[in-house]
Amino acid sequence: QLQLVESGGGLVQPGGSLRLSCAASGSSLDNYVIGWFRQTPGKEHEAFLCITSSGLSTTYGDVVKGRFTTSRDNALNTVYLQMNSLKPEDTAVYYCAAVPSRYVCYEEWSEYDYWGQGTQVTVSS
């Protein structure tokens, strides 16, 4: 059973950076696509990035384009989210999610089979 644990969240000032980690256990991530989502109170999970097993990423929408990137180290069974130029509106709980797929990314939360517990990111001065 695959388990995902996010870490690296916290409080950061506007314009700052954070790197989140999504560490997997119980199974190798080699054959999983990883999606990144965020959620604010009262809203649905919003997908913003996805990365295939080979490391190709897809950005959803324009909100994080040019500021957030994702990468993976399959040897460490970990996926990373680098967030730069953070804005107050980036404040949310951030989640990683996994689905068995090598080449196809998915945008819907319900299309993933495994989810992390989430980590809070707060952007404030």
Does residue 103 have a pLDDT over 90?
Answer: no
**pLDDT tens across 39-96, in order?**
999 999 999 999 999 899 999 989 999 999 999 998 999 999 999 999 999 999 999 9
Does residue 34 have a pLDDT over 90?
Answer: yes
Q: What pLDDT, on a 0 to 100 scale, did the predictor assign at position 74? A: 87
* CA–CA–CA angle 94, 98, 101 (5° rounding): 145
State the average pLDDT for the chain.
Answer: 95
Cα–Cα distance list, 112 to 13, 50, 124 (Å): 32, 11, 31
Nearest CA-CA partner of 13 in 83, 87, 68: 87
